[in-house]
Amino acid sequence: MNKGKVYLVGAGPGDAGLITLKGIRAIQLADCIVYDFHINPRLLTYAKDNAEFIYAGKRGGHHEMTQDEINAVLVQKAKEGKTVCRLKGGDPFVFGRGGEEVEILYEEGIEFEIIPGVSSVIAVPAYAGIPVTHRKVASAFTVITGNEDLSKQEKIFTHIRASNASETMIFLMCVRNLEIITNKLIQEGLKPETPSAIIRWGTRPEQKIVTGTISEIAHLAKENKILPPAILVIGDVVKLRDKLCWYEKKPLHGHRVLITRQLTEDYLLLEDMGAELFVFPTIAFAPPEDFKELDRAIEKIKEYKFIVFPSPRAVNFFFERFLSLGRDMRDLKGVLLCAIGRETAKSLRNFGINADIIPDEYSSEALITMFKEKILNFQPSAFSLKILYPRSDIALKGFVEEMEKAGIQVDAPVTYRTVKPTEHGKRLVRFLREGKITIATFTSPSSFNNLIDILKDDAKKMLNEVAIAVIGKTTAKAVEAAGYRVSIMPNKATIKDMVEAIIKWAQQK
């Protein structure tokens, strides 16, 4: 029997940037990903298109899968010859039951690899501006689980030097037993005035921090509605927070931005500014079901004066088919190439071609104006022009219709199709219901309309409280026609400009 391999990967405490490069590589290799509730969903965007996702998380005390079921599925998938990524929050060996899972793999003779993760033990206090050690304040730290039944034990902290003010104590999973923990510490000699902080959802947009003395922190946590997941930090290092606080000062801290297309580098500036990205492409792309129309256009490629590429995808799908038919760039001699937008021009350069024409504005309206006012003025007869316009199956035909009115022949073969992915849709719906999405971005009418179809009846209520950002006027019209308000729109229709507009909007807010 062909046995696969299991990677046990620590995904970090929440911020997607805290996973290791080796962890990302394991996600990319995996045929099957078994992931927990606390995993940042953006990490799943590194997976290959045909990867299988299995949710094994626990939320609100409800287990999606028992530990025995998780163990069984890891063994089953590996024995099917698959590469499995077991993606766990924080570090899998710090109160993560990773050791138990690896023991089962060992007993079953399955190859495994451990990829440590950044633990919440150090990362969450760091994002709160609290170092767990400091040369002048604390020379050691102790980590304790706080979710055991502590009330039945007479002495629970004998291993902790509770009277040693130079030591930091960190309790994980402590909310339920917070009052018991703090009372026991005081009973065992910890000074009631010892500084403490409880941190909920550390490293995430919802990060919330409450500070106070150890004698009052349980009351303060209840008063401020601190719920799991949270950690408790006790020691004089907490007093450094006033100086070292940094995460909450970022301009987009507290924002979770919905990206409804494939993630590109331009969006990452939002993360740099403190936002978390929820990547949920509402459109996926595939070749046309029938290539006849496109193949006919490629066969007579020298007849065209212009090829107008409306998007990077049009470039990529067109040339993939063009080259597969045995053609090469020499066949484009004498044909002028027009790219709508910088990203489209960049895609052409990837094939070794520079765009001859790039409109000043990146929209269909600007393209129509440019051809009417600039191109036709230098062309003796419009009837001698032929334009090839590779498009998607749902593309608007405004450009084609306007050119034909001017007497210009336009061939607009379907070059690629749009399809609706639904993976991770449940988590998106939950985030919207709970108000965890603050900004939603759309780069085309179809990206917006597909999201509405996925959300169905709940859509209007969910999106009413979300700031909607669009890339340009065409997308704005689709949003407004559906009864929603556009809050953010850049002057230029590019992702980079939309991102900059979002940052400016957040700073003004």
Backbone angles phi and psi of 180, in degrees to 5: -65, -45
Q: How far apart are the first and last CA of the chain?
A: 60
Question: Catalytic residue at 456?
Answer: no
Which one is catalytic: 173, 273, 370, 498?
173
The answer to whether the beta carbons of residues 75 and 111 sit under 8 Å apart is: no
Supply angle C-alpha 93, 28, 118, rounded to 5: 30
Could you give the strand order of the β-sheet that contains 391-392, starting from the edge strand earlier in sequence?
A: 284-286, 414-419, 391-392
User: Is residue 228 classed exposed, middle or buried when 0-12, 13-18 and 19+ CB atoms within 10 A define those classes?
Assistant: middle
The answer to whether the beta carbons of residues 23 and 117 sit under 8 Å apart is: yes
Question: Catalytic residue at 489?
Answer: no
Which one is catalytic: 3, 58, 420, 473?
58
Exposure letters 171-185 (e unless 16+ CB within 10 A, then b)? bbbbbebbebbbebb
Strand pairing partners for 467?
439
Q: C-alpha distances in angstroms, 279 versus 27, 252, 313, 376?
A: 16, 17, 19, 42
Q: C-alpha distances in angstroms, 376 versus 337, 369, 404, 408?
A: 16, 10, 13, 10
The answer to whether the beta carbons of residues 179 and 218 sit under 8 Å apart is: yes
Tokens 């018991």, residue located? 180
Q: CA 415 to CA 312: how far, in whole Å?
A: 12
* Residue 192: cis peptide before it, omega within 30 degrees of 0: no
DSSP 8-state class, residue 375: I
Token digits for 232? 């408790």
CA-nearest of 143, 208, 140 to 170 is 143
Which one is catalytic: 15, 36, 91, 497?
36
Question: Catalytic residue at 36?
Answer: yes
Type of residue found at 33: I
Helix orientation angle between 342-350 and 312-324, rounded to the nearest 10 degrees: 20
The answer to whether the beta carbons of residues 146 and 233 sit under 8 Å apart is: no
Which of the residues are catalytic?
A: 36, 58, 173
